[in-house]
Amino acid sequence: MGEPHRIGIVGTGWISGAYLETLRDHPAVTIGAVADLDAARAASVAAGIPGCRALPPDDLLRDDSIATILNLTVPAAHAEVGLAAIRNGRRVYGEKPLTSDMTTARTLIDQAGERGVEIGCAPDTVLGTGVQTARAAIDSGIIGRPLSAVAVMATPGHERWHHHPDFYYLPGGGPLLDMGPYYLTALVHLLGPVTAVTGAASRQRTWRVVGTGPRAGERIPVSVDTHVTGVLHHANGALSTVTTSFDAVRTTAAPIEVHGETGTIEVPDPNRFDGDVRLFALGATDWQTLEPSAGYAGAGRGIGLLDMLTSPAPRASGALALHVLDAMTSLLRSAAEGRRIDLTTTAERPDPVPLISPTTWRRAPAR
């Protein structure tokens, strides 16, 4: 207890900065090395971390001084980097999705199990006060038996702000695999595992235009569905309707609403850690904002890794990520085949997060 884990970060793109804000000075971890295909970018990141080295990716994955790999590569590389880390006996915590397909995801989980290596996966936003306060309210019975939920993510597409958005429109990308993990992971926290799905999808454009940066005006191909919708059948009998879209300019829909026999809970954006949770009770005349009552307060990206290293039962687990990937890929398969698909995985609802102050979680030692 108390000895910090030495972690190595593979992938030093934009999202790594958000992780470093959480991890750089935390007593549970020491960032020993970083790696990136862009060696200059890795060197620049390493220079800002005392004692950190910039290494080629293969060298970092074989470095015996590194206990845990934080995999922040693009989705297409998640499996390759994760498997290499596991085969070298390293723990792995990765960005979402776990991988881009179920075959490689199962291999990743199986390899980790065979070697006794822990594996975790984003999103960890669902461990913040937003989703956790909503979960605590639902579990308290405040809306009675939960019957259904509606989740909506609608944007005009990431090419408007991302300088290199190509991978969002290639296999492994699209609105569901990119943004769906936030919404589906939240729904499992709120309502429990999914048993079956029914989906529909469309692709109305074959190309997009990069909107900013040095490639502004460049056309990029679209080879995935850009509007995906469907129904999740939860084991408890509730039905969730999910829409993820890169084809919408704007929406007034709440990110997630959970409807019960005696009330409705409005859940804030699951791509954020906080936000207002609102209740409309049966017979009320207006919404009531609930005080934060659960979750890591003031958290940022990387709290899931810290939870894995400091908690006896990691909440952002590989098993949960595999189940969410199963639901997403099954939705896409259902849309293509025009039929209901039964899932082949399940996952327990992760332990709820009590209200944990920044002062507390920022000082938690490694287990």
Same domain, 181 and 285: yes
Inside any domain, residue 249: yes
Inside any domain, residue 247: yes
The answer to whether the beta carbons of residues 349 and 201 sit under 8 Å apart is: no
The amino acid at residue 127 is: L
Inside any domain, residue 356: no
Same domain, 99 and 134: no
Same domain, 144 and 261: yes
CATH number of the structural domain spanning residue 135: 3.30.360.10
Inside any domain, residue 353: no
Same domain, 52 and 168: no
Same domain, 203 and 239: yes
Inside any domain, residue 303: no
CATH number of the structural domain spanning residue 21: 3.40.50.720
Same domain, 107 and 136: no
- Other C-beta atoms within 10 Å of 195: how many? 15
Same domain, 272 and 183: yes
The predicted pLDDT at position 312 comes to: 87
pLDDT values of the chain reduced to their tens digit, one per residue, 367 residues:
568 999 999 999 989 999 999 999 999 999 999 999 999 999 999 999 999 999 999 999 999 999 999 999 988 899 999 999 999 999 999 999 999 899 999 999 999 999 999 999 999 999 999 999 999 999 999 999 999 999 999 999 999 999 999 999 998 899 999 999 999 999 999 999 999 999 999 999 999 999 999 999 999 999 999 999 999 999 999 999 999 999 999 999 999 999 999 999 999 999 999 999 999 999 999 999 999 999 999 999 999 999 999 998 999 999 999 999 999 999 999 999 999 999 999 999 999 999 999 999 999 998 7
Which of these three, 58, 87, 121, is where a domain ends? 121
Instruction: Kindly report the backbone phi and psi dihedral angles of residue 15, in degrees, each rounded to the nearest multiple of 5, phi listed first.
Output: -65, -20
Inside any domain, residue 54: yes
The predicted pLDDT at position 1 comes to: 52
Number of domains in the chain: 2
82 burial (CB, 10 Å; 0-12 / 13-18 / 19+) is buried
Which of these three, 121, 141, 172, is where a domain ends? 121
Burial of 226-253, coded b for 16+ CB within 10 Å and e otherwise, reads bbbbbbbbbeeebebebbbbbbbeeeee
The answer to whether the beta carbons of residues 102 and 329 sit under 8 Å apart is: yes
- For residue 74, the enclosing domain spans 5-121
d(CA 108, CA 98): 9
Same domain, 275 and 130: yes
Which of these three, 75, 98, 121, is where a domain ends? 121
| Residue the block writes with tokens 């699209």 | 174
Tokens standing for residue 296: 């890591």
Edge to edge, the sheet with strand 277-281 lists 288-290, 277-281, 263-267, 256-260, 146-154, 239-245, 227-234, 194-202, 341-342
Same domain, 138 and 113: no
Inside any domain, residue 261: yes
Inside any domain, residue 335: yes
Same domain, 94 and 133: no
Same domain, 51 and 188: no
Whether pTM > 0.85 for this model: the answer is yes
272 burial (CB, 10 Å; 0-12 / 13-18 / 19+) is middle
Same domain, 237 and 324: yes
The answer to whether the beta carbons of residues 310 and 363 sit under 8 Å apart is: no
